[in-house]
Copies of this chain bind each other. A is one copy, B any other.
């Protein structure tokens, strides 16, 4: 490997054996020096959880002769990024990519997603980061169709550099390569999950629940990620981790806080 190759950290939330991360490793190996640190089991919907009340284990699972260094980790996606940066990588990586997620992380899903939280964690640590997701939950989803786009987006980010304190949330429609219309910069659609818990009983008669829900998008804006995906485009949403609602400051300051 030449010294000029970028150092790329890869993680995900579906676990290190998921086909989605394998596709991402394929593409990134064409671009840079790759190190993989990913959960040893599925960690979907873990959000920005970190492990503070339990121990963390790392297992080196690549052989010395393998071209890519791979570690599985007992923690969450965010733990993986923290351990990679502090315990495995010899220098700060040039890029962190997370995914390719099996299923959508568009709209409000960005908040629940372990895939995106790993990218956000890298962003917080000053590492350019992209989360990739395909709108197909199938374990055998067709990742080949989107590999050229993943490569294009990654190359563009490495060349131009991301705006400060911004990471990218990239979602792909479930389409064949030649059906995809292009890439659109979007805003996060204002949508939510409306829950319908599935209430069941254990064999012993105790009630329990399964979280189930329906995704409801009432945001009809044509500048949203949902619109782009429904219309055959790849959505790219710039995501920030300053959660301050700056627009609300003035109104709140007009209240009688200190009387």
Report the copy number of this chain in the oligomer.
Answer: 2
The docked-state distance in angstroms from the alpha carbon of A39 to that of B59 is 31
A62 part of interface (Cβ distance < 8 Å): no
User: Is A197's CB within 8 Å of the partner chain B?
Assistant: yes
On chain B, the residues within 8 Å of A182 by CB distance are 257-258
Interface size class for chain A? Answer: 35 or more
A196 cross-chain contacts in B, Cβ below 8 A: 86
Q: Is A46 an interface residue (CB 8 A)?
A: yes
Q: Contacts A56-B210, A255-B160 given; indicate if A242 touches B51 (C-beta within 8 A).
A: no
Residues of A within 8 A of B (CB): 42, 44-53, 55-58, 78-79, 82-83, 85-87, 108, 110-112, 117, 120, 124-125, 152-153, 156, 160, 163, 165-166, 182-183, 185, 187-188, 190, 192, 195-197, 199-200, 206-211, 236-249, 251-253, 255-258
Q: Sorted from nearest, which 5 A-B pairs have the closest CB atoms?
A: A47-B48, A47-B47, A240-B245, A238-B248, A238-B245
